[in-house]
Amino acid sequence: MAGADTMRKGYHDLLRREILELIPSTAKSILDLGCGAGNLGKALKQQQNCVVHGVELSREASTIAEKNLDRVWTDNLNRFDPTFCNRKYDTLVFADILEHLISPWTVLKKFSSVLADDGVIIASIPNVAHPWILQNLKDGLFRYEPAGILDITHLRFFTKTTIFQMFAQCGLKIINFRPWPSAENPVQYHVTAVRPQLKFKDPTTTILILTYNGWEYTEQCINSIKINTKTPYKILVIDNGSTDGTVDRLRADRTVLHIENSQNLGFGKGFNLGLMLVDTPYFVLSNSDVVVTKDWLSRMTYHIEEDKKLLILGARSNHVSGPQLITEVPYIDNASLEKYAAEGLRSSKHPITYFPRIVFFFVLLKSIALQKVGFLDEIFGLGNFEDDDYCLRAIRAGYKTGFDNTVFIHHYGSRCFVINKIDYTKLMQENEQKFRTKWNIKDK
């Protein structure tokens, strides 16, 4: 396999200089998980003034590692309790080890508990979406090997997207991500991750934002949420393969978690990757070209809880189809937008309007929806009619849908389609037919 020669040498003896260069020169305390014979730690101690501890399953390797490191535990990472370390570490190293574990998600999360607040996690993880493997799959082959991506001892397999998912699920923020040895030959990915700097410790709502280029709109969206939201939340951005610098900006913003896809997976599949990680009572699906207004979340969560059967709650907007639309809005900038939202809507005598179709440009849902209704249907590709479909499924499951007359969300409208030159009208027509076929709705 292309690049496999870089991974043929025995894991226990491998130095991994490409990993060594990722470890901060300022690191004073390092924990090497799956340390092998301790050659990486030995090189670190020669390179800088530091203490290096290790955990290794192989007794033979750990015996050698004890001569190279300051302390070694011979144990299985699946069961090892990191509190035994009795300290915090500047750097945790997971070099080609997560894929060997029964539950790498559990191990990554439990060991992050001994990461210093300003510490980093360095990981190298094989890429099962390597072109060589994809070609073999086309030929009907999935061939295990003595070493490499399909090492016969690997229990888990990852791609770029699922690596980002795993780290986000563990509450970790990836700030650097590189294919190795090259983008053309991505045998594995090298990850640098940190603790995110989330605004709230115990968020009640996960705000999912789907992006595909158009950073100027995404930035406005995120900033408006940070400024106008007091109810505890966390932001999870799912990027659909942006090429305009969005990814670099997301990696740099430690106040948001994010997932990076290699290509545009569309609305349903993109959001579903984030929905798999929702662990809060509520979640929001948001386009990246919206601007929220003051106290939107506190109002929407209050109103959605007034009716136990109300599962999906939308908002009013200047750019939306159906009765959620408000035409001829008077604002011209953020200041007048806030004034309009505060004075023009919040005195409404009827805060909720029940309606069978809520547009998912921006919508709040109770997380129980994932159990009772499920995830978004991915048959609609790049987008349109996922919302019609999901609302219909919710109603047929015995729940209600509506929109909040006291909350106004500014929507630029279809910026993703415009920026990326996607034929919106054609896509809408195609997906309408898919929707009608699915629900056996006769043509007009």
* Complete DSSP assignment for 149-197: TTBTT----B-HHHHHHHHHHTT-EEEEEEEEE-SSSEEEEEEEEE---
What residue type is assigned to position 68 of the chain?
N
Homologous superfamily of domain range 205-438 = Spore Coat Polysaccharide Biosynthesis Protein SpsA; Chain A (3.90.550.10)
Cβ-contact 189, 160 below 8 angstroms: yes
In the prediction, which pLDDT does 354 show?
97
> Radius of gyration over alpha carbons of the chain, in Å?
25
Name the amino acid, one letter, at 313. L
Report the 10 Å Cβ neighbour count for 121: 25
Q: In what order do the strands lie in the sheet with 173-181?
A: 71-74, 51-56, 29-33, 89-95, 115-126, 186-194, 173-181
Looking at residue 304, what is its pLDDT? Answer: 98
Angle, CA of 225, 109 and 117, to the nearest 5°: 65
Helix, strand, coil percentages in the chain from 3-state DSSP, rounded to 5: 35, 25, 40
* Strand partners for 365: 283, 312
pLDDT tens-digit profile, the chain (444 residues): 434 333 334 555 667 899 999 999 999 999 999 999 999 999 999 999 999 999 999 999 999 999 999 999 999 999 999 999 999 999 999 999 999 999 999 999 999 999 999 999 999 999 999 999 999 999 999 999 999 999 999 999 999 999 999 999 999 999 999 999 999 999 999 999 999 999 999 999 999 999 999 999 999 999 999 999 999 999 999 999 999 999 999 999 999 999 999 999 999 999 999 999 999 999 999 999 999 999 999 999 999 999 999 999 999 999 999 999 999 899 999 999 999 998 866 666 789 999 999 999 999 999 999 999 999 999 998 888 999 999 999 999 999 999 999 999 999 987 666 666 667 788 888 988 998 999 999 865
- Identify the three-state secondary structure at position 256: coil
Cα 239 to its chain centre, rounded Å, is 8
Question: CB of 70 within 8 A of CB of 50?
Answer: no
Identify whether the C-beta of residue 18 lies closer than 8 Å to the C-beta of residue 180.
yes
Whether the domain at 4-194 and the domain at 205-438 fall into the same CATH topology: no
> Tokens 């639309």 sit at which residue?
325
What's the CA angle centered on 193, arms 187 and 198, to 5 degrees? Answer: 145
Separation CA 229–CA 232 (nearest Å): 8
Q: Which amino acid is at 101?
A: L
Question: How far apart (Å, rounded) are the C-alpha atoms in residues 342 and 294?
Answer: 8
Distances, alpha carbon 190 to alpha carbons 95, 118, 310, in Å: 9, 19, 44
Q: Is-cis flag, bond preceding 146, omega within 30?
A: no
Q: For residue 123, what are the β-bridge partners? A: 94, 191
pLDDT of 14 reads 66
Q: What is the third-level CATH fold of 4-194? A: Rossmann fold (3.40.50)
Say what the pLDDT of residue 427 is.
81
Residue-level length of the chain: 444
Per-residue confidence (pLDDT) for residue 382, from 0 to 100: 83
Q: What is the pLDDT of residue 7?
A: 38
List of E strands, 213-317: 233-239, 257-260, 282-287, 290-291, 310-317
Instruction: Name the residue ranges covered by the structural domains of the chain.
Output: 4-194, 205-438
pLDDT, position 350: 85
Q: Over the range 149-181, which residues count as b (16 or more CB within 10 Å of their CB) and which as e?
A: bbbeebebbbbbbbbbbbbbbbbbbbbebebbe
> What is the identity of the amino acid at 289?
D
The neighbour count for residue 80, using CB atoms within 10 Å, is 18
Q: Which residues of 271-295 are buried (b: 16+ CB within 10 A; e: fewer)?
A: bbbbbebbebebbbbbbbbbbbbbb
